[in-house]
Chain A
Amino acid sequence: MSEFFQATVLLGLLTAGVRLATPFLFAGLGEMLSQRSGVLNLGVEGIMLIGAFVSFFVAFESGNLYLGLLAAILAGAFMGLLTAFVSVTMKAVQGISGIGIHILGLGLSGLFFRLTMGSISTMRGFPRLAIPILKDIPVLGRVLFNQNWMVYAALLLVPISWAVIYKTTFGLKVRSVGENPHAADSLGISVTRVRYICVVIGSIMASIAGAFLTIGQHEAAFVNNIAAGRGFIAVALVYFAKWNPLGVLAGAFLFSMIDAFQLRIQIIDIGIPYEIPVMLPYIVTIVVLALSTRGRVLGPTALTKPFVRGVHT
């Protein structure tokens, strides 16, 4: 047991936690924006899969990782438009339409993988990028500043999201649209446009989260269903976060750190069936949320409610 607390192991734990949290940060912050505007996008998982495939395929064929990332952004935008069309314009039941988008993403990524690549291939993804000076900070330096740039980008997105939501005119519009779309509408804000923008940005971020799973790894590969449920966890974390970017950060880290921790608990073999540690991140997340929620949570009031002018809900 004592060996567990060795510095290198602890460092590894933290480093892995940060790495594991990255896709949750991208997808979770995107989902948060979408939900802030009143749209539940349950299709994140499918969009992640599409982003993972498209980025890998384009990077593999072109040899240019950035081109791959760009392709993921475009594919994410496309899926976002589709999601927004279904949820905003067609006013679909959002819980269900999201499952549809998920299944579609799963299918399309698998189909195109087979049609274009046909077999598992690997390539070099984004390399680690140690940030000079910062990387030499004891402990923190190695944990935080010796990752690839997508990890830094994800971390940076936390304060950026925070600033966008609370400090910009756009963020104010988003908050009003998610809270009282009739009020926003009465001031000439296009509820539809704001929701489209948020859903599209959210989907792009989900797609980037997917790209992180392929080209964001030092050794990159795409395999079917590579997201393996991470998209759903990202959605769940938004509820955990109570729609706050810092909450998303906290949730993503809580979940990922416990995940990294359970991987290591298994290794030191404390004599319990390994399934118990595997369940740990899920159970702890539920328990923490249960303990931290008191009374009514003030979420975006209009979440999942389609907007129809003049029809108050």
Chain B
Amino acid sequence: GAAEVDDGVLRIGVILPSGRDDMSWSQGMYEGVSAVVANMGAGNAQMAVTENVPNPVDAGAAIRDYANQGFNIIIAHGSQYQNPLMEVAADFPEVTFAHGTAFETSSNIFAYDPQAQLGAYLFGWLAAQMTNSQVLGIVGPVRAGDAIKYNYGFIQGVEAANPSVRVLESYTGSFGDNIQAKEMAEAHINARADILTGTAQQVVGAIQAVSENDGVYWFANDTDQSPLAPNSIIASQAYSWETVVQYMVDSHMAGKLGGEIISLDLTNERIQLVFNPVLADLVPADLMAQFESKKADVASGAIQVRLPE
């Protein structure tokens, strides 16, 4: 049974598929929740994290655990958690559950959906202008989920800017094999790509390869990854999980426990394109200005970025 703890403290439980220090998907959410909790103050909010649970069985146990322990908001940060989440949510109508990238909701379930393709489009557009070799590279993990959305957006951006620029696209077949991602990046660079991009925690390896090679740059996704390679990362598309979490906290406190798909996009600024100040000189001012106007177009919908089918 649910051990209701009624001390007025808001408890948030987070379940992460990889480590909270993965420099990408999981770390982003971890930092987002941490920031919200810190803002609210320890007396008002607390968080607990279960990490490295790629498989839904353990995640299911964790979700139910948190519910049983009287957590108020439970965030299962992965598409694969949909089933266990729906199941537990039915048993705990007073608790708010959240998951994503996802679309299934119910009265006490939020789904969140980062529109990865938007920033990707803009990065693709920019990369196509900046490349010297006219070759770009995408280091993919598994061709699914976030990765295809992102990659598809990137390619559209390139085409919009300069159809003659080639985009090399390939996949390691794994989410976490850094060494393989590194080799794949090397293969791209070897094939003359001079700007690369990619998603998932494996990109740490690819970014290493990029920073080993002079004149090769990287567009990042998930979080601001520039600390990983300050001299190679031009910009990052960072999901502002903090605002998403804050939104859910506010809703929860206001009595709205779920029933909404929360989009992360440019309009609501839950997606932020963070340029690396170290490489500020790399993007000429006029190009940057064009970029900003493109960004406005994408945000407003004047430019439609398609999703893969």
Contact = CB atoms under 8 A, between A and B. Distances in A.
- Do A and B touch directly, given a CB cutoff of 8 Å in the complex? yes
B204 A266 contact: no
A145 to B, nearest CB: 18
Given A16-B183, A223-B204, A267-B187, A122 B229 contact: yes
Nearest to A275: B173
Contacts of A119: 21, 23
Nearest to B135: A267
B170 A228 contact: no
The prevalent SS among residues of A at the interface is: helix
A263 interface: yes
A199 interface: no
Interface string A1-43: 0010000110011001001100000000000000000000000
B3 to A, nearest CB: 29
A49 to B, nearest CB: 12
A305 interface: no
Interface string A109-136: 0100010001110100000000000000
A266 B141 CA distance: 13
Contacts of B182: 217
A9 B191 contact: yes
Most A CB contacts (10 A, CB to CB) among B178, B182, B183, B184 go to B178
A221 interface: yes
B187 A12 contact: yes
B72 interface: no
A242 interface: no
A9 B201 contact: no
Contacts of A259: 183
A274 B184 CA distance: 13
A50 interface: no
Contacts of A213: 179
Contacts of B168: 267, 269
A121 B182 CA distance: 16
Contact of B208 (A20, A221, A225, A278): A221
A112 to B, nearest CB: 14
Nearest to A256: B183
A285 interface: no
B209 A278 contact: no
A44 interface: no
Interface string B168-201: 1111111011111011101110110000000001
A133 to B, nearest CB: 25
A97 interface: no
Interface in A36-67: none
Interface string B1-40: 0000000000000000011011100000000000000000
A16 B208 contact: no
B191 A228 contact: no
B173 A263 contact: no
Nearest to A220: B208
B52 interface: yes
Contact of B188 (A218, A230, A267): A267
A120 B204 contact: yes
The prevalent SS among residues of B at the interface is: mixed
Nearest to B21: A119
Contact of B23 (A120, A230, A278): A120
A174 interface: no
B208 A263 contact: no
Given A118-B21, A221-B204, A19 B183 contact: yes
Contact of B191 (A114, A230, A264): A264
B211 interface: yes
Contact of A263 (B187, B228, B229): B187
A161 interface: no
A267 B209 CA distance: 17
B143 interface: yes
A246 interface: no
Nearest to A20: B183
Nearest to A226: B178
Interface string B250-283: 0000000000000000000000000000000000
B58 interface: no
Contacts of A114: 19, 21
B190 A16 contact: yes
B212 A224 contact: no
Interface string A199-222: 000000000000001000111110
9 contacts: A12-B190, A119-B21, A120-B21, A221-B178, A221-B208, A267-B170, A274-B143, A274-B170, A275-B173
Given A120-B204, A266-B170, A278-B172, 5 more contacts: A120-B22, A213-B179, A228-B178, A263-B183, A267-B191
Interface of A: 3, 8-9, 12-13, 16, 19-20, 110, 114, 118-120, 122, 213, 217-221, 223-226, 228, 230, 259-260, 263-264, 266-267, 269, 274-275, 278
4 closest A-B pairs by CB: A12-B190, A266-B170, A219-B208, A278-B173
